[in-house]
Chain A
Amino acid sequence: MRALSKDSQQITTITPRKKFFELNFIETLRYKDLIGLFVKNSFKTRYKQMLLGPLWAVIQPLLTTIVFTVVFGNIAGLPTDGAPKFMFYMCGNVLWNYFSSTLTGASGSFSSNAYLFSKVYFPRLVAPLANVLGNMINSGIQVVIFFGFLLFYIIRGDITPDYALLWLAPLLVIQATLLASGIGLLLASVTVKYRDLTMLISFGVQLWLYATPIAYASSLVKEKLPGFFTLYMLNPMASIVEAMRKIFLGTGSISVKYLLISFAISFVLFLLGVAAFNRAEKTFTDKI
């Protein structure tokens, strides 16, 4: 007879849940190996039986950046606040890519794991957490490429980053993560009941891209549509992208006011998202 471990003595009690907001972070962390495997396996399955494999993570943003540079930079001739066009678009694209894939991934937390969720229990937050980590790694590769180009431009003397603000960059990434997961989780919870909203997600993210200074600089909005500028800057992603460009490319400006508003919106949406996710999670298997 084997000795009983401490785990075997731990009592779990399940009752109909009533709490509105409950974050089982401690329980979720106990499943850190599972999170790791989720991330690893999603990479494995994504790049299995593929010709170029993980190279796609690099090719995609590079091609998008080139297209943006040609279409918006050269053909349309949009100003880039004095930054080299290629770097201007690459900075926006890498950030947007991370944001949109995290959002879309989180919004599929239920639908892409429906089978697993209906068969076994594990803290459901594992799925969106693994999604965030996976996208971080994916975007990490892109960031390395970005830094490579950045170094080249710095050495050539075309770009002077705002080194004093460098500490802000990781905070901005966290903020974008909170925002993307928050909205993603909200959407995930709503789509459990209303399937038709899944249509809106990819479409909505695409439209959102144009409401964010990715293909152009926000100064252009201020110049052409001054009446709409405040409304425009209420888009939390706008401040994040602008601040990121200021830090790494040294162009544009950071508005502390809008950045704080943006952070507040992101944080509130994140809390709402987690609360909605918890609510949806408890009845999910009865609804699909």
Chain B
Amino acid sequence: MEKDVVLETKDLVKEYRIGQINTGTLRGDLQSFFARVFKKDDPNIKLLSDQYYDISNKTHRALDGVSITVRRGEAVGLIGANGAGKSTLLKLISRITLPTEGSLSYRGKVASLLEVGTGFNGELTGRENIYMNGAILGMSKAQIEARMEEIIAFSEIGEYIDTPVKRYSSGMFVKLAFAVAAHLDADILLMDEILAVGDVNFQDKSLKRMEEVATEEQKTVIYVSHNMTTIRRFCKRCIVLEEGKVVFDGDVEEAIEVYLQRKKRGYTNENNVSELPRRYCPNRLMRKVSFTACKLLCGEDCLVKDKSDFGMEFHFSAKETIAGAKLKVTFCDATEQPVASAISEAFDIHEGENRMQVSADISSLQQGAYSITGSLMQVSSFDIFSYYDNVEQMGFFDIDPEQSGLLWAGRIWGRNKLPPLRIVGGESSE
């Protein structure tokens, strides 16, 4: 390893098995084992291939030959769609899990902030938790003490530092967690969306602190985010991951461009969505309904011409007939931030294949690239949603700038243009 290189990965591969690893009980595994030995039918195979389980010996390569080199003092952004392998890479670097193939070397200590408040124990006070976190990093008591005052001051916790953290508000908790991580004696800091926490002032302060850490303290920061704004502001270099591979490594603006283009690549106005990953859908109600396809009624170029009548067609298959379901379509901007949603009236889903055409008035959305998230859901009488299915990035479309009027600065003004302001009163002095 060269002298100023702090992190180097060579052909890193991480494989996960898909489906259930075993039957989960010793009895079941012994049964399967003896069935194999005596060449009989495995009694558990049938059970597990039941519709609610998904057993297969397929493997999924979360990372597929990743080789990167990071030098001291660099602030590197890591972007990619959900499931591209960003978090897996961080997990490998922080040694939470081991690679399947390849190797990884780093200099000094790694501190990970994969989740806020990692290693915080609710029963212990803020101060005790600072010691604990430092010790987890392998720092000695004296080293932690040397930075204690700095951490307490940064966290804005003040006199509550000697109160058990279980009594902290979530904001205080997050602030303390960040303060600890940003001041501990690590050479490489891994952050996963951490800056999206705390109030605006604190976020700003955190970003400044991270810049300071990278430039003045010569530490290396690897930052994963979906928020292109913070990536732009903070990182000098950016790596784009796609399906476990590095597809771009270099300038931040270029990387963001590559990422957005990659995301759109392979999509037309008509997409098969049955295999897309499902998130934020913990109770898929036994997979009664699944989206299979999404078609945007806007021509092959995916450019929306008539914003007041934007047509979409959804296909979904249902295992049974369901009454009173609703369809929700959420529009997200290029940084995957939701900007607006529209919900349909209640309709009935019939057993078998369903096709449904809807039209949305998206006049207020301004120019830019958008993706849509479709959800089929049931709204109970208490206004509680339960999702049958929820698929992100079912389709992509672009909106051109409006012919007349101002060029809309979406990044600063937001993506929605509301109807013109009406002047209803006021006076001017002479």
Residue interface bits A38-74, CB-to-B below 8 A is 1, else 0: 0001001100100000000000000000000000000
Q: Check: A260 CB closer than 8 A to any chain B CB.
A: no
- By a CB distance below 8 angstroms, the chain B residues around A33 are 135, 139-141
CB < 8 Å neighbour of A37 from B95, B110, B135: B135
A65 CB, min distance to chain B CBs, angstroms: 31
Please tell me if the beta carbons of A195 and B124 are within 8 angstroms of each other in the complex. Answer: no
Measured in the bound complex, the distance between the Cα atoms of B187 and A117 in whole Å is 21
Is B24's CB within 8 Å of the partner chain A? yes
Given the known interface contacts A14-B92, A15-B99, A119-B115, the answer about A31 and B105 at a Cβ–Cβ threshold of 8 Å is no
B100 touches which of A13, A16, A41 (Cβ 8 Å)? A16
Q: Is B104 touching A14 in the complex (CB atoms < 8 A)? A: yes
- Option from A13, A37, A193, A286 in Cβ contact (under 8 Å) with B97: A286
When C-beta atoms are compared, the residue in chain B nearest to A34 turns out to be B135
Who on chain B is nearest to A17 by CB? Answer: B98
B16 x A14 contact (CB < 8 A)? no
Interface residue A8 (Cβ < 8 Å from any Cβ of B): yes
Judge whether A194 and B131 touch: CB under 8 Å. no
Is there contact, CB below 8 Å, between B109 and A16? no
A4 cross-chain contacts in B, Cβ below 8 A: 218
Chain B residue contacts of A11, Cβ below 8 A: 1, 105-107
Evaluate contact between A119 and B119: CB separation under 8 angstroms.
yes
Given A45-B124, A121-B96; A197-B218 close (CB under 8 Å): no
Choose from A15, A45, A286 the contact partner of B123 (Cβ within 8 Å).
A45
B389 nearest CB across to chain A (Å)? 27
Closest chain-B Cβ to A68's Cβ sits at a distance in Å of: 33
B26, CB-defined interface residue at 8 Å: yes
Chain A contact residues (Cβ within 8 angstroms of B): what range? 35 or more
Contact B135 A10 (CB under 8 A): no
Q: Does A9 contact B (CB under 8 A)?
A: yes
Minimum CB–CB distance for A157 against chain B, Å = 48
CB < 8 Å: which of B24, B107, B118 contacts A8?
A: B107
Query: Does B378 sit within 8 A of A, measured CB to CB?
Result: no
Q: Which of A97-154 contact B (CB under 8 A)?
A: 116-122
Contact A194 B218 (CB under 8 A): no
Asked if B96 and A14 sit within 8 Å, CB to CB, the answer is no
Contact of A7 among B22, B27, B98, B108 (CB under 8 A): B108
Q: Say which residue of A2, A7, A120, A194 sits within 8 Å of B119 (CB atoms).
A: A120
Q: Give Cα A214–Cα B103 distance, bound, in whole angstroms.
A: 52
Listed by A's residue number, 22 A-B pairs whose Cβ atoms lie within 8 Å are: A1-B218, A8-B107, A13-B103, A15-B102, A15-B104, A16-B101, A33-B139, A33-B140, A33-B141, A36-B135, A37-B135, A41-B132, A44-B124, A45-B121, A116-B119, A119-B96, A119-B118, A120-B96, A120-B114, A120-B119, A196-B27, A283-B98
Known: A14-B105, A119-B114, A119-B115. 8 other contacts (CB 8 A): A2-B218, A14-B98, A14-B104, A33-B135, A33-B140, A44-B124, A44-B128, A195-B24
